[in-house]
Structure 1
């Protein structure tokens, strides 16, 4: 029995006596409680001394301690924190183990490294994972941190009036930014949990890959969906498309023309320049494969650019803006925005990974439950910095004319 298991056993025995209440324990049980308490205290001091001495010796020797917060992936971070505490995944069975917050995810591929325990089972990390679409919507917004739980901020509408020429003695035109309305957005938690067996827990590269390849991706997938489409009803975020953004309906002109028109709407209403387009793959394909009257692809053909000029671009940006092609936005809808200027994602801390075998029947089933979670809020200070566009041609109204577009 490991020292962690001994400590857990002593705590459990002491708690069983404490649960009887001070008025119901016998003198023998009182002596037994004292024995379990003293033993648990001694074991705890032994563990603390071991960890403190290890850290102290490393410092005296001038050894550069591995910095857990510089781990390249969330899974590596989890394992490095375990190693720093002298624990293995199975040792966390004695109680809840929580990592500090992780804020620097830069690589989604698991790698082994120094400090990992010997493996009893080898894991093939080169298997073919199910398709995972790139998660890039969050990167379009500005990023911020917060110490509280709610951010309150002014929301500005479109400019009113404008500058103009004035006759001598004439009234000057007014340029006015309307008084803002005040909004507030609270932190919302996005989380998930899963289980592995005790045998799986002995294979640290497998644990790393489960955290990085599956859990962290699915958390990001839910985050991206919420940022765009959250309905604002607890526990959901209020997503961008459920704010008072500008809209542009179907019209007689082409989809690329309306995408460009949206950039004008943004600069007119806010003075900002659009910096990105978010579009569904099917809609991007229709634009990318569009041709002129000579049958030439506007974006260049499959061997060369238009009319053989220039090299081929597989996914050229539309109107020179960063073009995010993703299923996060519905087919038939595109979003043009000044994302950096118009919205900010506030996060409290970073990602947290927890593991325990105290959930459900884990202890008797030789399983460990993992949990991953984050807290964030979306602030959209300038809703008019975004335009939601309905793609496609407008239907004729029977008079031979098409309905006008609307903002």
Structure 2
């Protein structure tokens, strides 16, 4: 399909989901709608860019009418100067279009510069084959904290479990005491994620669509690092202290239970420790595949076969969620480890400002070398108020 057809398909898919109504969409459908929206926006920007470049070149394709038929370079200069509304005295920085005398013979060349007209016209396919870009989802699972002013650190209390508890009391009996222990105070600071690159002035002018693609992929690369840091950053130096390395999160080693059973038990551990309900599971594609392809003693897939549901009931589901949790299948987490959590309540991404894209030709020798330096940057951190709202599960046994 060409770009217009791809855009129409994305819009149609998004419209099908929108027609269901905002209150009727599942979490998976909301994620699918976001993906259709993002892809449609990207395609529309590319179509608009090509259209703009074509209009720009069309506007400059025809030389000034006064310059047509000029017999000499002087005539050509005078005609274009007149067309520009300038006098010789005013034309301090004036340049004409390329001059070719009307008496020159047109020749067929071999495609090399200066050898006449190229015999074969090459059409450029602007749909580049770019590396795979996986969906970035970890930041969307968490809440958000926005810093303003001069603040660059969030300090907050982390409470331990309630001591004691309410109970029944006989007449005249002593009431039981409850006590919330003093919290431990934690602080999470902003970290910077950034990247830069250079292009030439000519590339920016002549291949605007390529520069746009490079910018988009640089932004993706930065957000990919953001996701990795939020999930597994080690907290050393400029690194974020990610979820998997956060002190106080719960852990479940590999046991005799099956992987699905331990994932369910991780939900229970979160509920007992915090009272929160787990809302998502992050799992590696290889681990999800092992669970998805597991079968019972009769050779039936637990999650339904490749034609219909379990034992012929219902319809097959693509990437069905485990235990009703929003199941995020991503390479962001290593094989053999899964993370179950109450993400929205347990943690939040700290941001100050948004993703910034900047460019300059004043860096180093850029101006004299016809170069432009681009950079993208953002300041983010991770706040985890309730470490026990997350359970790191070691996998390795698909079924009993």
Give your verdict on TM over 0.5.
yes
Query: Compared with structure 1, are the counterparts of its residues 333 and 198 closer, same or farther at alpha carbon in structure 2 (3 Å cutoff)?
Result: same
Distance 2:388 2:208 in 1: 48
The answer to whether the aligner puts 1:221 opposite 2:224 as a matched pair is yes
The answer to whether the aligner puts 1:113 opposite 2:116 as a matched pair is no
Distance 2:191 2:200 in 1: 30
The answer to whether the aligner puts 1:179 opposite 2:114 as a matched pair is no
Moved more, 105-114 or 378-387: 105-114
How far off is 1:273 after superposition? 0.5
How far off is 1:167 after superposition? 5.0
How far off is 1:127 after superposition? 2.5
Among candidates 192, 195, 198, match of residue 198 of structure 2: 195
Distance 1:169 1:254 in 2: 51
How far off is 1:154 after superposition? 0.9
Aligned to 2:315: 311
Give 3-state SS (helix, strand or coil) of 2:393's partner.
strand
Aligned to 1:132: 133
Unaligned runs of 5+ in 1: 1-104, 395-407
- 8 Å CA contact 1:362, 1:368 repeated in 2: yes
Deviations 1:26-77 (CA, angstroms, capped at 9, x unpaired): xxxxxxxxxxxxxxxxxxxxxxxxxxxxxxxxxxxxxxxxxxxxxxxxxxxx
- 8 Å CA contact 1:152, 1:185 repeated in 2: yes
How far off is 1:143 after superposition? 1.4
How far off is 1:242 after superposition? 1.7
Aligned to 1:297: 301
Q: How many residues align?
A: 289
Give 3-state SS (helix, strand or coil) of 1:327's partner.
coil
Query: Compared with structure 1, are the counterparts of its residues 230 and 304 closer, same or farther at alpha carbon in structure 2 (3 Å cutoff)?
Result: same
The answer to whether the aligner puts 1:211 opposite 2:218 as a matched pair is no
Aligned to 1:239: 242
The answer to whether the aligner puts 1:347 opposite 2:343 as a matched pair is no
Among candidates 358, 363, 371, match of residue 362 of structure 2: 358
Give 3-state SS (helix, strand or coil) of 1:362's partner.
coil
Unaligned runs of 5+ in 2: 1-36, 59-122
Normalised by the length of structure 2, the TM-score is 0.67
CA root-mean-square deviation: 2.5
Within 5 Å, give how 1:233-382 maps onto structure 2.
233-243=236-246, 244-382=248-386
Aligned to 2:70: none
Aligned to 2:142: 141
Aligned to 1:160: 163
How far off is 1:282 after superposition? 0.9
How far off is 1:204 after superposition? 3.0
Query: Compared with structure 1, are the counterparts of its residues 162 and 198 closer, same or farther at alpha carbon in structure 2 (3 Å cutoff)?
Result: same
How far off is 1:352 after superposition? 1.0
- 8 Å CA contact 1:157, 1:382 repeated in 2: no
Give 3-state SS (helix, strand or coil) of 1:320's partner.
coil
- 8 Å CA contact 1:156, 1:383 repeated in 2: no
Distance 1:167 1:287 in 2: 52
Deviations 1:105-164 (CA, angstroms, capped at 9, x unpaired): 955554343895655699744332211111000000011211111111111233334444
Query: Compared with structure 1, are the counterparts of its residues 351 and 300 closer, same or farther at alpha carbon in structure 2 (3 Å cutoff)?
Result: same
> Which of the two has higher C-alpha Rg?
2
